[in-house]
């Protein structure tokens, strides 16, 4: 059983995400889920914080970042213009500070009735080609979920379900993960889930999905420095060794 390879590491607040050199996630090449555009969602609040986090990503061996601000009408009413303008400011700051990494932007779309309208009326920001990162409530399955996913596929988009291990209502029906993949959806693992950051139940489900090789992408979902520290704590663990041999699709989006 794959889950036996996972162990629980203690907190590593003493690790400096910039200066520590004993880190290497370069086998992933690209990170396709993060929140680095400052001031537009619950991720980085300032350009200085963004630069700190992205320096940490460089130290960890990432070559490409596709940052994915939330688009959630009630809390983060972002759109293509807001995200694009924020990306340009961030790219300029990276250049001015000699931080050598490629960064692009997509979005993490929240599935609700507003998203269905958006799907009808405007293009979506994609991770790779036609692939779109989506999320929904962690506690309750949206009544329109299957309808919206079908609608995305019909319009030529391929949904990537962000951190499926975190949707608590699927824990009682593990077959749903296979059903989503059979319908053409991709699944994205949060690295943080394997650290126990969100709790042992979520960690266990993540291990089971990984054991069955149902994940397609792997993302950091970094919002702030504590997340970066938690991901650093995985370096050298058996979980890290197993992830390094898993065939994620991240390399397909490395520039």
Q: What is the mean pLDDT of the chain?
A: 91
For residue 218, the Cα-to-chain-centroid distance in whole angstroms is: 7
- 22: pLDDT strictly greater than 60: no
Integer Cα distance of 219 and 188 in angstroms: 7
Q: Beta strand pairing status for 64-67 and 102-105?
A: parallel
Sequence spans of domains, the chain? 2-247
User: How many Å apart are CA 36 and CA 17, to the nearest integer?
Assistant: 15
Question: What is the per-residue pLDDT for 239?
Answer: 81
User: What integer pLDDT is reported at residue 137 of this predicted model?
Assistant: 96
Average pLDDT value for residue range 110-121: 94
pLDDT at 5 over 80: no
- Whether residue 3 has pLDDT greater than 70: no
Average pLDDT over residues 160-177: 97
Q: How far apart are CA 160 and CA 216, in angstroms?
A: 9
**pLDDT surpassing 70 at residue 12:** no
Assigned token pair, 236 = 């050298």
**Core vs surface per residue 223-250: b (16+ CB within 10 A) or e:** bebebbbbbbbbbebebbebbeeeebbb
Which of 121, 171, 113, 172 has its CA nearest to residue 143?
113
Indicate if the pLDDT at residue 6 is higher than 50. no
* Sheet of 158-162, strands arranged across: 70-71, 108-110, 131-135, 158-162, 186-190, 217-219
Q: In CATH, which superfamily holds the domain spanning 2-247?
A: Metal-dependent hydrolases (3.20.20.140)
pLDDT tens for 185-227 read 999 999 999 989 999 999 999 999 999 999 999 999 999 999 9
Angle of helix 225-232 relative to helix 47-59, nearest 10 degrees? 10
Q: Measure the CA–CA gap between 11 and 225, rounded to whole angstroms.
A: 13
- pLDDT value for 23: 59
Give the whole-angstrom CA distance, residue 1 versus residue 208.
9
Instruction: Find out whether 218 and 188 touch, Cβ atoms under 8 Å.
Output: yes
């Amino acid at each position: 059983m794959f889950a036996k390879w996972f162990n629980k590491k203690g907190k590593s607040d003493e690790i400096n995400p910039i200066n520590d050199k004993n880190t290497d996630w370069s086998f992933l090449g690209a990170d396709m889920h993060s929140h680095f555009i400052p001031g537009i969602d619950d991720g980085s609040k300032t350009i200085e914080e963004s630069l700190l986090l992205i320096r940490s990503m460089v130290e960890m061996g990432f070559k490409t970042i596709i940052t994915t601000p939330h688009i959630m009408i009630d809390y983060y009413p972002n759109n293509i213009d807001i995200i694009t303008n924020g990306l340009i400011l961030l790219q300029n700051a990276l250049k001015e500070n000699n931080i050598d990494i490629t960064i692009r932007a997509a979005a993490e779309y929240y599935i609700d009735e507003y998203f269905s309208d958006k799907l009808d009326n405007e293009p979506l920001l994609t991770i790779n080609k036609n692939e779109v990162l989506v999320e929904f409530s962690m506690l309750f399955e949206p009544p329109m979920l299957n309808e919206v996913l079908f609608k995305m596929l019909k319009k030529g988009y391929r949904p990537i379900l962000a951190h499926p291990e975190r949707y608590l209502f699927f824990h009682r029906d593990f077959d749903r993960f296979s059903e989503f993949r059979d319908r053409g959806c991709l699944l994205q693992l949060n690295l943080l889930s394997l650290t126990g950051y969100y709790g042992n139940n979520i960690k266990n489900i993540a291990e089971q999905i990984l054991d069955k090789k149902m994940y397609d992408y792997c993302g950091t979902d970094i919002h702030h420095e504590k997340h970066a520290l938690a991901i650093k704590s995985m370096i050298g663990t058996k979980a890290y060794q197993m992830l390094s041999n898993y065939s994620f699709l991240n390399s397909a989006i490395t520039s």
